[in-house]
């Protein structure tokens, strides 16, 4: 790999060398490296672009890295990755996509990830999106995550996009069985004329199941963000969604929550807060010697941690 590709890998997956455990690296639409382990098998799909990741029952303290990097302008791809996670597992999956576009054409990656999580398994899923270039070529990322949680399972998804993506539509869908839990923590920052949409759609189907969807975002310049969430409580369950956004300059943020209680014992909550940085926060930091711009940057960085 050249230095650009190595930098992209470091940005999206914190990889500076070949990772331990199972991995699959995709670069400019082609496989750039793969390793399976005794408990984690990675194979190429035969019917469409993408891979199947199969994790054996009882696999614990193991990880899978599946980053995607693009450094060619004009490359557009859709990739389908399916995860089949056995019962009683405890694993970490590191995904993400980085795009370097210094041309004039659009570069786009649409990643469709589907999770089948077995009984009493725990999954931590980390996904970071990053774009860079000279500004002439558009960078587009449209991730879609579909989660099927079996009884007693747990999936926590951490997704981050804080730089360089011109347009994104982020879809997360889930169905949650009895005693299972879905947690999503999203962080987004937009600049210029960038556009970002988030759509959460979750069915809480089993008794004692739950979900917690949290989005924190900052919209700067003339960028636009849309947050939508739809939680359906179909059982004795608990669901919570939260949109917390800072708006700056001439940006726009829409929060559109929807809750549907289809069972008398469903407990569903939504919280939304959109506003600018409080003047007293900036003033306090400026009394410590920071400029106004430095104070704003510190507040934003703290908010997105």
Sequence-distant (6+) residues with CB within 8 A of 284 are none
Instruction: Look at strands 50-55 and 40-44 and give their pairing.
Output: antiparallel
Strand partners, 109: 77, 141
- pTM of the complete model: 0.94
In whole angstroms, what is the distance from residue 230 CA to residue 226 CA?
13
In whole angstroms, what is the distance from residue 35 CA to residue 24 CA?
7
Average pLDDT over residues 134-153: 94
The band of 20, judged by pLDDT with boundaries at 50, 70 and 90, is confident
The 3 state secondary structure assigned to 145-173 is: EEEEECCCCEEEEEEEECCCCCEEEEEEE
Residue 111 structural domain: 3-279
Amino acid 94: pLDDT: 95
In whole angstroms, what is the distance from residue 207 CA to residue 196 CA?
34
pLDDT in tens, 252-281: 999 999 999 999 999 999 999 999 988 888
Task: Tell whether 158 is covered by a domain.
Answer: yes
Task: Tell whether 179 is covered by a domain.
Answer: yes
Tell the residue number behind the tokens 């990322």, with chain if given.
Answer: 141
In whole angstroms, what is the distance from residue 161 CA to residue 15 CA?
17
pLDDT in tens, 40-69: 999 999 999 999 999 999 999 999 999 999
CA distances from 140 to 26, 55, 109, 131, 219 (A): 17, 31, 7, 9, 17
Task: Tell whether 61 is covered by a domain.
Answer: yes
Q: Domain count of the chain?
A: 1
Amino acid 166: pLDDT: 95
Task: Tell whether 218 is covered by a domain.
Answer: yes
- When mean pLDDT is compared across 16-30, 137-151, 163-177, 245-259, the lowest value belongs to 16-30
Task: Tell whether 262 is covered by a domain.
Answer: yes
Amino acid 288: pLDDT: 86
Task: Tell whether 305 is covered by a domain.
Answer: no
In whole angstroms, what is the distance from residue 171 CA to residue 169 CA?
6
Task: Tell whether 304 is covered by a domain.
Answer: no
CA 109 to centroid of chain Cα atoms: 14
Residues 85, 52 contacting (CB under 8 angstroms): no
Task: Tell whether 171 is covered by a domain.
Answer: yes
pLDDT for residue 31 is more than 80: yes
What's the mean per-residue pLDDT of the chain? 94
Residues 102, 134 contacting (CB under 8 angstroms): yes
pLDDT in tens, 159-214: 999 889 999 999 999 999 999 999 999 999 999 999 999 999 999 999 999 999 99
């Amino acid at each position: 790999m050249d230095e650009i590709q190595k930098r992209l890998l470091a940005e999206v997956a914190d990889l500076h060398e070949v990772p331990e455990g199972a991995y699959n690296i995709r670069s400019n639409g082609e496989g750039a490296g793969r390793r399976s382990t005794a408990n984690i098998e990675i194979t190429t799909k035969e019917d469409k672009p993408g891979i199947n990741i199969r994790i054996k029952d009882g696999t614990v303290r193991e990880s899978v890295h599946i980053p995607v990097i693009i450094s060619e302008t004009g490359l557009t791809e859709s990739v389908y990755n399916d995860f089949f996670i056995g019962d009683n597992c405890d694993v970490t999956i590191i995904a993400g996509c980085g795009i370097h576009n210094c041309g004039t054409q659009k570069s786009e990656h649409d990643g469709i990830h589907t999770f089948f999580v077995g009984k009493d398994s725990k999954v931590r899923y980390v996904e970071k999106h990053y774009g860079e270039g000279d500004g002439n070529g558009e960078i587009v990322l449209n991730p879609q995550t579909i989660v099927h949680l079996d009884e007693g399972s747990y999936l926590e998804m951490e997704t981050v996009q804080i730089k360089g993506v011109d347009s994104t539509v982020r879809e997360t869908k889930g169905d949650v069985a009895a005693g299972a839990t879905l947690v999503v923590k999203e962080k987004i920052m937009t600049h210029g004329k960038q556009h970002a949409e988030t759509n959460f759609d979750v069915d809480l189907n089993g008794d004692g199941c739950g979900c917690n969807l949290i989005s924190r975002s900052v919209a700067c310049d003339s960028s636009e963000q849309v947050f939508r969430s739809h939680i359906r409580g179909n059982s004795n369950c608990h669901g919570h969604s939260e949109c917390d956004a800072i708006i700056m300059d001439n940006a726009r943020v829409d929060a559109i929550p929807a809750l549907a209680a289809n069972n008398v014992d469903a407990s569903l909550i939504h919280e939304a807060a959109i506003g600018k940085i409080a003047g007293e926060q900036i003033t306090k930091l400026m009394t410590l010697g920071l400029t106004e711009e430095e104070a704003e940057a510190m507040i934003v960085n703290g908010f997105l941690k």
